[in-house]
Structure 1
């Protein structure tokens, strides 16, 4: 598996796989297979694939560490950009099919409906992350500031779940919301646990390093 992940064809294959949901949606739209309300189906589908891509990108680090497969890290940027890509398609579908590209109506809708406001904020953060996802941005910003900015992906996850929750609240349908919340909550919970574990290990090492010096002074 590690050799396959390092193969020159691995990235193009993963890129094509990430485009398959879009290919299916285009085909379904052309073949009139999106149901009675194609516009709503496209808006929901692009939102669903944004959440799925977000789950994938947040799963990269835990999988990389738990399976000792550092090669997975080379796909993280691509997955992150696909989160932005499907989120942008979600906004495009809403702006086109729901609002007819009427900017004034879109702005009023964002202000009036909290779940759209929350979704817009998540997309704004994703835009910043996508715009700074390249090596030049890391050099320009410095590693620490770049890492701090890209940790806001956790805020995106929380906002995305809130957006989905409020959208389904009107129909009192929270089954899918609970599934995505559990997945994203588990992935973020793992990061908190890993951070606490690292701090504990670092503290133990510091105590161990200080112990010989204390013994030497006492002697």
Structure 2
């Protein structure tokens, strides 16, 4: 049995509910560190960054499912929807930390920040693109929308690009980490443009 086959067998043995059950644990740990002084002198900023970065990593993980299957033979399709839903949860949590803990729901100040810091608008746009994906990430929507469901869920491409751009812009100066994340996103999207190889015709 090849390595991809072993990975696929292990993946099939893990039900999707396990991912949903484990999803809140990183956030709970980071909140605990924030309340106990484990996130440094600016716990809210650190918490916001950790949650946002994890959300971006999850979006990238979801984006990697198709290339992994095409080019490495690793099939994570059965968990892609769960990865996407958990990613949306962390994007939403990232937004709520900014609105509630960082900005204290001071709407005039929030509006001023939206005008002054356009990376926030980019992040908001990414979040908005993810809303219809989260709402339709259920079996009923898949049946109801039919082929339109796949087209709708291509919005994740734009959401990932905007999420990566949000990270790049908010980083002060030239920072390698956000550039690497952006390069990975562009690379994964670029792999989707690689034409599928046609099966070789059997020789007579």
User: Normalising by the residue count of structure 1, what TM-score does the alignment of the two structures yield?
Assistant: 0.80
2:106 pairs with 1:102: yes
2:63 pairs with 1:62: no
Aligned to 1:20: 25
Aligned to 1:188: 189
The within-5 A match list for 1:114-125 is: 114-125=118-129
Give how far 1:118 is off: 0.8
Show structure 2 runs of 5+ residues with no match. 1-5
Give how far 1:155 is off: 0.6
User: Normalising by the residue count of structure 2, what TM-score does the alignment of the two structures yield?
Assistant: 0.86
Show structure 1 runs of 5+ residues with no match. 206-219
Give how far 1:126 is off: 0.8
**After the TM superposition, which parts of structure 1 deviate over 4 Å for at least 4 consecutive aligned residues?**
none
Instruction: Please identify which structure carries the higher helix content.
Output: 1
- Kept in 1, the 8 Å contact 2:168–2:182? The answer is no
Structure showing greater radius of gyration is 1
State the Cα RMSD in Å. 2.2
The within-5 A match list for 1:66-105 is: 66-70=71-75, 72-105=76-109
The structure 2 residue matched to 1:129, chosen from 126, 133, 138, is 133
Return the alpha-carbon distance in structure 2 between the equivalents of residues 162 and 69 of structure 1: 28
- Kept in 2, the 8 Å contact 1:4–1:10? The answer is no
Aligned to 1:32: 37
